Amino acid sequence: MKKDSRRNTRQRRVILEELSKTKAHPDASALFRIVRRRIPDISIGTVYRNLNLLRNDGRIIELAGGRHSSHYDADLKSHYHFFCLDCGNILDLDEPLLRSLDGKVSKRSGVTVKYHRVDFYGYCGNCKNSRS
């Protein structure tokens, strides 16, 4: 994690606190609606700006899900995500990490792998059932 040299503003602190409370992986608009309950005069631009700063500082993860807007996750521990191709829902997967993959890729390609991200795509339980 990078060290944030900027001061930790109230807006940034509240955005991070609210993002840390949820497993829903909200996009900026959803997070804006949540944060407005605590800071009614916050702007959507302030939310976007602070999400970018938090991401750049390594304090949150940005999840880009194809045709859907970026979503955010404050859970920095290594874990996999599942993206529903129908409703756009993002789920954390409780699966063991393939840590050996880092070493294999490093050895075969001559690069140094620090970590990896693997995302899974398909249909969540609700969408799978509605497609039957």
Q: Residue 129 is part of which domain span?
A: 77-132
Q: Which tens digit of pLDDT belongs to each residue from 79-97? A: 999 999 888 889 999 898 8
Residues 55 and 102 in one domain: no
pLDDT tens across 24-83, in order? 999 999 999 999 999 999 999 999 999 999 999 999 999 986 666 899 999 999 899 999
pLDDT tens column, 72-82: 999 999 899 99
What CATH number does the domain containing 18 carry? 1.10.10.10
Let me know whether 1 and 23 are in one domain: yes
Full-model pTM: 0.82
71 bridge partner residues: 27, 63
- Tokens encoding 30: 């959803």
Q: Looking at the structure, do residues 28 and 66 belong to the same domain, yes or no?
A: yes
> Is the distance from CB of 62 to CB of 55 less than 8 angstroms?
yes
Q: Are residues 63 and 18 in the same domain?
A: yes
At residue 61, what are phi and psi to the nearest 5 degrees? -115, 135
CATH of the domain at 128: 3.30.1490.190
103/57 same-domain check = no
Residues 100 and 42 in one domain: no
The helix (H) or strand (E) run that includes residue 38 is none
Residues contacting 102, CB < 8 A, separation 6+: 113, 114, 115, 116
Do 70 and 91 belong to one domain? no
Identify the residue whose tokens are 């109230």. 10
In this structure, are residues 93 and 80 in contact, taking their beta carbons and an 8 Å threshold? yes
